[in-house]
Structure 1
Amino acid sequence: MPLHDLLSRARVAILDGHAVETGASDGAPALVRVLAAAAWLLADGGNPAPLAQALREREARASTALGEGVAIPHARVAGLDECRAAFLRLEHPVEFEAPDRRPVDLVLALLVPEHDVTAQLHRLAEIADRFADPDYRAALRTARDASDLRRLLGGSGPDFLPCAA
């Protein structure tokens, strides 16, 4: 399954709201709000709460930031039948405790079925490799809109990140 299938049209977004930047009135840290936004996209209209919790629990163990403004929050989820991904470009970068101390503005959230450890490791390695390219990161940062982002993430290019190992 190509990345654009994992992402789907509705799972690519540009977040520009001040709620993420400031933590909003409920006092939630910006990182928690980013993970909640990713979970909402990943839920496909279902309940995002357990997905947000899984992403928060994983992030609490160790930062999923790679550096260079990129993070790959990920979790294995019980009851999930197939891999899902969501991409968010943040107009207001968020602190993710990255190794290079840079705030994150490119987030690719990944969920995999709980039993599929191999698929998770495989996907993470492929995503990290893809986001290691500075030209690719620059293109994502300068994309005009979500449609351009979808194209850059694989919608009209070669397939990558197949769900099956």
Structure 2
Amino acid sequence: MELSKLLMPGAVRVLSQVTSKKRLFQELGEVAAQAYALNASVAIDGLQERESLGPTGVGHGIALPHARLEDLDRIVGVFLRLEKPLDYDSVDRQPVDLVFALFAPKDSGVDHLKALALVSRTMRDAGVCTKLRSNTDPAKLHAILTETRAPQAA
């Protein structure tokens, strides 16, 4: 599994200001709808439902919201870089500025977990995060995220 298979160039955005987690999820749903023809409100509801189980802010300014959706035939991703960090209830209580959301089919099982692990490994790479934070061009952000890296243990 490769990030280039999960993340289309059109699903990468830079947002100047997001005022709440709810608004962030709306943005993620809208980008997913535009890039992958998902139903935006179903995507938003899925993210909110998952978030109600516990925050997906993993620390160091990174959030990995995700949802399993009906009527989805493959796992897809959306990446947002926030110019103004957002309070997200992260594990380290730090605001979030890098958000990688995953949407997976309801029955994706282990593939969903593999995709989440891949995204998590990528976003744990300090060099990748530094590059992401120093770029505002969505095409460059996509290239940074999808460049092939040597596999590492989860």
Query: TM-score higher than 0.5 here?
Result: yes
- Is 1:152 the counterpart of 2:144? The answer is yes
Whole-Å separation in 2 of the counterparts to 1:139 and 1:147: 13
Q: Is the 8 A contact 1:3 1:159 kept in 2?
A: no
Size of the aligned set, in residue pairs, is 149
Closer, same or farther: CA 115–160 of 1 in aligned 2, 3 Å: farther
Residue 126 of structure 1 is matched in structure 2 by 118
Q: 1:69 aligns with which of 54, 61, 69?
A: 61
The root-mean-square deviation of aligned C-alpha atoms, in Å, is 1.8
Alpha-carbon distance, 1:47 to partner = 2.9
Partners of 1:32 and 1:142 lie apart in 2 by 26
Of residues 76, 80, 85, the one that matches 1:93 is: 85
- In the alignment, the residues of structure 1 paired with residue 127 and residue 38 of structure 2 have an alpha-carbon distance, to the nearest angstrom, of 35
Contact 1:2–1:159 under 8 Å retained in 2: no
Contact 1:2–1:160 under 8 Å retained in 2: no
Secondary structure (helix, strand or coil) at the match of 1:92 reads strand
Counterpart position of 1:27: none
Gaps of 5+ in 1: 22-29
Rounded to whole Å, the distance in 1 between the matches of 2:31 and 2:59 is 23
Whole-angstrom CA distance in 1 between matches of 2:96 and 2:46: 20
Partner of 1:113: 105
* Cα separation, 2, equivalents of 1:47 and 1:159: 32
Q: Counterpart of 1:25?
A: none
1:37: which partner in 2? 27
SS of the aligned residue for 1:86 comes to strand
**Structure 2 residue 130 is the aligned partner of structure 1 residue 135:** no
- Output the TM-score relative to the length of structure 2: 0.89
Unaligned runs of 5+ in 2: none
Secondary structure of the residue that 2:49 maps to in structure 1?
helix
Measured after TM superposition, the shift of residue 131 of structure 1 is: 1.1
Q: Quick one: which amino acid aligns to residue 115 of structure 1?
A: D
Counterpart-to-counterpart distance in 1, 2:150 and 2:115: 9
